Amino acid sequence: MAPTRDMDYASWTRNSFLLGVALLAIGAVGHLLGPALLGPLPEWEATLLLDLEILGVLIGLIAPFTFGIVLPLTE
């Protein structure tokens, strides 16, 4: 029996896409409002926010393809 037999692919797809959108939104809002509210950001914070944006885009694009198309076909 396959270990992925009981996975709910629709909820995994939806939740992983929403995680990607949330990471992108946190990074974008931090980049836009951080300097306006707190002044100049330290370099590590700017790097962290940029990494959140990149990771959010990657998760938002790759996870639906993986959980919505590839894994159901392998079952």
pLDDT digits (tens, 9 = 90+) for 22-40: 999 999 999 998 888 888 8
Give this prediction's pTM.
0.84
What pLDDT score was predicted for residue 2?
A: 57
- 38-57 residue pLDDT tens: 888 899 999 999 999 999 99
Taking Cα atoms as reference points, which of 19, 1, 5, 8 lies closest to residue 67? 8
Query: Across 4-8, 46-50, 68-72, which has the greatest mean pLDDT?
Result: 46-50
DSSP 39-74: SSPPHHHHHHHHHHHHHHHHHHHHHHHIIIIIHHHH
Q: How far apart are CA 72 and CA 68, in angstroms?
A: 7
CA 4 to chain centre: 22
